[in-house]
Structure formats: C-alpha cells, structure tokens
Structure 1
Amino acid sequence: MTETLRLQDRELFWPPADELTAAAERIRSRLGDWPPTHAPWRICLTPPDAPNGGDLIVVTDAAPHLANIARWMLDGAGVIEAGIDAGQGRATLHLGGVRYALEGELAEDWIPALAAFLDCGFDPHDALVLALAWRDGDEAREDAWPVDFSRFPRVLGLPDAPAQPFAPCPTKLGLYPVLPTTDWVERVLDYGAKTVQLRSKQPKSPALVSEIERCVAAGRQHADSRVFINDHWREALAAGAYGVHLGQEDLREADLDALAAAGMRLGLSSHGYFEMLTALHFRPSYVALGAVFPTTTKAMPTAPQGLARLARYVKLLDGVAPMVAIGGIDSAVLPQVLATGVGCAAVVRAVTEAADPAAAVAALQQVFTQ
C-alpha cells in the first residue's frame, strides 16, 4: 500500500477538496525529505473572493477572468491557465509580472502533484515544471521523483535555437575557477587548471578588448585548456575564444547563431527547473546550476539550491548535457558536491582569496581524483 504523509495543518486547496488533499499527501510521501516550506501557497480551483499572496488560481480559460487577473496579481496571487490545446497539454503561470508558459502532459493528478512539489519548497514555476513531468502512478515507483528528461515539458515562446548545436565540451569539465582579471587567468592556467572563466567587471572599452585577447592567447599557450569569457560575447567572438558563458537575461540579445557558427562553446546559467529547460532549448555546451550554497560574489535571484536539489538536477541531465555546479563551493564542501555525481564545480573565492592560490588549485583538483 502506498504510504501517505500528513501535510501541515493548512488549507491546500480552495474550495477544500478531500480527494485532492489525499492524493497530494500520497504523492508527497514518496518525494523524500525536504525542508518544510513556509510560503503561504494555496491552489484555488475556483477564484476566491479575496485571494492572498500565496494563492495560485487555476483557470481553464483566462478570457472570462481578464478583468480580475490584474487585480489578483497585484494582490500577489498567481494565475495558472491550464488545458488541452490541439491534443497537447499546456499550462501557463502568470506570477509577479512574469509569464511561464509550458507544453507537456497534464496527468490526472497534476494538481495534487503541484501541491506536493510546492510543499517540497520549490517556487511555483519550478513546481509547475515538475507537475507536468509527473505521471499518474509514479508514486508507486521506487524513486518517484521525475528524472526522465523525455517526460519533461518544453518552454514556449522562446526564440529559435541556432541551426546547429553549440560545439561540445568535455562531459566532466572538472575544476572551473571563475576569475576577475586576465592576470588571474594567466596565473591559474599556469597552476594547471584546464577550465577557467574570465568574469571581468570592466566596462566595454579598449582595455576590456585587450584583456579578453590576452585571456584567449593564454589559453592557446596551454594544451587542452578551455577559457570561457563571461557576458562579453562580442569581444569573445572577435578574439576567437574557446567559449562564452551567458546568463538567461542575455539570451535575447546575444547573436547565438554567430557564436554557434564560429564553433564556440556556450555555457548558460540556470537557477532551477524552468531556467534549466530554457537553457537546454538552445542546445548549449553546458548548463550551470546555482547557487548551490550561499555566496557573496554576486546577487542571486533565488535562494541557495542545496545538495538534495543538485543531486536531482544531475540525474535529470545525465546524458542530456554537461552540468556545472556553482555558488559558495570551497574545499570544505567540494567532496559533498562531487558526491552528487556532478562532473564540474565552479569556484571563485576558494582560489582568489586563498593564502596560497597555487596550493589551493592543486588541492581542489586532487578532490576530483579521489
């Protein structure tokens, strides 16, 4: 008999629905231990008179509700428009002024599955991805968590991917120092690192062009090295860099066709399931996932992912695309990160703030061989 897990004493659905609650508890019991969520979410199958900031209001057709949707979202609620279109399931979440449109399968239990994934602490757009990857009866599997990529939905409304995929890079990129200057890139390559990234804070200028050209030249002087340039794709393309690393916000601006045609590698950032699917649409050379742990090197749009989520992401992307773990990783936690099966870990302060950077690089690389 399938186990059940009593969720917190709270209203999961509006109107109250005992059958949905039982299904959500049954599914949740098979998803493992996750930190309890404190978000005040509630799934509303009928628009409530007074929605709260955690409500997710499910409608099959937004048209009759257009006069109210803007008001609901001003109150902090989200709206999920879900239904079957041309035989294909579609679900679009409108939340915080952002539209998250997905196409996939809507299982009979997708709504209780959504409740279960929300209870695991996932943000609504990522929980919705998982709900569309859920199949009725999955709770009877030994490992019920969705990890079959072929079941996952696709993100709608994205620009076309380049005609040719981006050039591949090694499946396991190993230690990946992310460095602030060309001097650092040159030094760390001399220390024996094979994969590095220049994340320069310089504004666009002749000095920046020179810095990127020096990094590319340094990479060519070291056999089998892989130098990625963060953000500055035009300069990297002109310099003939091995690859570039871009954030999701850069995808509509960058000339991805030109980068792919030049044989450059592309790494894309992601911060959860929805952004991971967005990144994979463009067939990048690798997908970075973070922040795994709290980090002070840059402002992060999401809470730290943690090792449990990282392990799930690794299983999902196995054989799909190389993955890079990033964010707050140092020598103390690197063994735990690699225990998830990820083949690459990006580090920043573990190298740049080390008392002996050369020794730090050697020690970190040693962890990959253990």
Structure 2
Amino acid sequence: MTQTLTLKDRDLFWPPADELTEAAERIRARLGDWPPTHAPWRICLTAPDELNGSDLIVIADAQQHGEQMAHWLVRGAGVIEAAEEKATLHLGGEKYRLEGHLAEDWIAALAAFLDCGFDPHDALVLALAWRDGDETSADDAFPTDLSRFPRLAGLPDAPAQAFARCPERLGLYPVLPTAEWVERVVGFGVKTVQLRRKSAEPADELKREIARCVAVGRQYDAQVFINDHWQAALEAGAYGVHLGQEDVHTADLAALASAGVRLGLSTHGFYEILKALHFRPSYIALGAVFPTTTKIMPTEPQGLRRLARYVRLLDGVVPLVAIGGIDLQVLPDVLATGVGSAAVVRAVTEAADPASAVSALQHAFTQ
C-alpha cells in the first residue's frame, strides 16, 4: 500500500463529501506510489461560488448549463458531462468524449487517479475503466483489462482494413535527421530507422531524401519509416510512416493502409493510446519517457512507471516503441518494462563514435 497518500490534506470535493473522500482514499491506497500531483484538482458536484482554477465541475446535461458552462470554461475550470454510460470532458478548449461503464465509485476513482498525477482526460479514462470493488482485488488494482476501457466517440472513421503488420519487437529504433544518416546507420546493421526531416521544403529535396531512404531500406532489408511527410512517403513506396495524433485528422489513412504502408502513431497517455488503437496502426509509440530536447512535448515526461503500465495494458495487442530522452544509460531500465523497442536520437546522432554507440545500444537488447 502506498505511503504517499496526499488526499487527507486536500480539498477534494465541493461540497465536502465524507463518503466520497473515504472511497477515494480507499481506492488511492491500492494504486501504488506515484509522484505527488502538481495540480490539485477539485471535483465539484455543484458549481462553487468561487472557482479556484483547478475545478472539474460534474454535470448531467450541458444543454441545461450553456451560459454557465461557458463562464466556467473561460475561468479555467473543466466540465465533465456524465450520464447514461457517457462522459465528456470539456477542458482547455478541447472536448474528450468517452463511452463506457460508469461505476458507482467512478467519481471517487477519478479523484484517486488525479492524485496519482494523471491529467484529467487520462484520469477520466481510468475512472471509466474502474469497477466497483477493484480496490479489494488480491493482486494489482490498477486497470489492466483493455476490454473494460471506454471507447472514444467522435473520431474519424478508421480505414476499412487494418494497417499492415510490422515485427512485434522492432528493437533499436534510431530517429535520424537526413538520408545520409539513415544510410549510415542502416549500414551498421540496424533494421528499424526513421527519417525525421523537420521541413518539407524544398519539395524536390524532400523527395530525393525519402527516395534514398526507401532505396537503402530495400537494399538492407530494413524497416524505414518516414516521419510526417506521408504523401511523399506514399509516392516513394516507403515501408512505413510515423504520424502524430493531430495528423490522423488530415492524412489519407485509407490510402496508406490500402497501399500496405505501415503506420506508427505517437501517444502521450491513456486517452491518446485509445485514440491510436481506433485506427489499428502497425505500432504505437509511448512517450516521452524522459525529458527530451529534440522537440517540444505536449505533456510532462511519462516516466518508467507509466511506461510499465502502458506495456502491461497493450502487450500482445500492438507492437510498442518507447521514445523520449533514451540513451545507453537508461535503456536497460526502459527494456525492463517489457517494451519491445526503444527509439533513440541523440544517443546516435551526437555520439563521438556512432558505430560504437549503435553496437552498444543493440547489445542492450540481448541482455
């Protein structure tokens, strides 16, 4: 049982609710040790007279609170509309629509997962995966059964056919800035790489870079993924593309799937994992595990504890890639979670001897 309970010292609910607080404490005690939350969310069962900036107001019908709801959101509060096996979180200009079971203790579970440091949309996913009495289970009380997790509503249709499979364990996965780097690293014997070229301009140069990557992948029988530039990758006959969460709303996923192009999708938590699964990708990337300077991240680092949770939930469902701040020093700890692949950037591109660095990184996968 956790030794870091912080619920007793916090204003969890408005109005104060002893039974809910007791239930939240009971659930929280079975979820294990997590870093203390930096956002002390308060769950409001009725709207408070004064919003504190970290309020989540629970209502049954948004239409009955239209003007009030707009006021709450402008003031920085979140609103959870929950009724009839549905829960929608309105927060920060986003709308997170979930469909699934609402246990009697779902609000208490929500408070417990918020206290574990999960962002509201991820905590809400976990609260809907919760079942009354889970805290009495003899083993791990944390939700691990994917069939009990909610569905995401309002997403674009997934392609009629699932994306082509890739190896279940992709191993070392360098993410590289140029075709020259791709050719170099594939020549070291690496079987999975990604070209992440930040600019699409000039277009002719981008096409030449992608063509070089496709050619070397075929020459060495390696899986070469192209980041973001899916149209050019499709035209070049690339093995795969890697896209971010926002790209699934604009990319022609049906064209990619029908062409046999593999798809990797980035995720940063439970909600985005469910969104990625909806599109039946070839693999899912989980990150950022550690702080990284290679790109601006939308979320705080996930850490090893969360990574282990994602792996336990998804092992055998879809190939997984850990990404973000991974180097040789932390790679053994990353692999200890059971993840089958780890993406690296600076551990290769900033190494004094890239060939030796690649050899050492690959060796870690055999230990």
SS of residue paired to 1:201: coil
| Correspondence for 2:22 | 22
Q: Which contiguous aligned blocks of 4+ residues in structure 1 show a shift greater than 3 angstroms?
A: 1-6
SS of residue paired to 2:9: coil
| Correspondence for 1:217 | 215
| Matching residue's letter, 1:218 | V
Q: Deviations over 1:243-284 (max 9, x none)?
A: 000001111110000000001100000100101100110000
Residues of 2 paired with 1:38 and 1:357: CA distance? Answer: 39
Residues of 2 paired with 1:43 and 1:244: CA distance? Answer: 40
| Correspondence for 1:165 | 162
| Matching residue's letter, 2:94 | V
| Correspondence for 2:123 | 127
The range that moved more, 61-70 or 306-315, is 61-70
Residues of 1 paired with 2:73 and 2:50: CA distance? Answer: 12
Structure 2 residues not aligned, in runs of 5+? none
Residues 175 and 2 of structure 1: CA distance in aligned 2, closer, same or farther (over 3 Å): closer
| Correspondence for 2:40 | 40
| Correspondence for 1:58 | 58
Residues of 1 paired with 2:303 and 2:6: CA distance? Answer: 24
Kept in 2: contact 1:101–1:155 (CA 8 A):
yes
Structure 1 residues not aligned, in runs of 5+? none
Residues of 2 paired with 1:123 and 1:255: CA distance? Answer: 30
Residues of 2 paired with 1:44 and 1:3: CA distance? Answer: 27
Kept in 2: contact 1:4–1:27 (CA 8 A):
no
Is 1:335 matched with 2:329?
no
The 5-angstrom pairing of residues 1-370 of structure 1 reads 7-84=7-84, 89-141=85-137, 142-204=139-201, 205-223=203-221, 225-370=222-367
Kept in 1: contact 2:2–2:31 (CA 8 A):
no
| Matching residue's letter, 2:147 | S
Residues of 1 paired with 2:320 and 2:266: CA distance? Answer: 10
Q: Percent identity?
A: 75
Q: Deviations over 1:138-181 (max 9, x none)?
A: 10121000011000001110010000000001111000000000
| Matching residue's letter, 2:290 | F
Deviation at residue 40 of structure 1 after TM alignment? 2.8
Deviation at residue 297 of structure 1 after TM alignment? 0.2
Deviation at residue 74 of structure 1 after TM alignment? 1.1
SS of residue paired to 2:365: helix
Deviation at residue 5 of structure 1 after TM alignment? 5.0
Q: Deviations over 1:282-312 (max 9, x none)?
A: 0000000110000000000000000000000
| Matching residue's letter, 1:236 | A
- What RMSD, in angstroms, separates the aligned Cα atoms of the two structures? 1.4
TM-score (normalizing by structure 2): 0.98
Kept in 2: contact 1:175–1:193 (CA 8 A):
yes
Kept in 2: contact 1:59–1:80 (CA 8 A):
yes
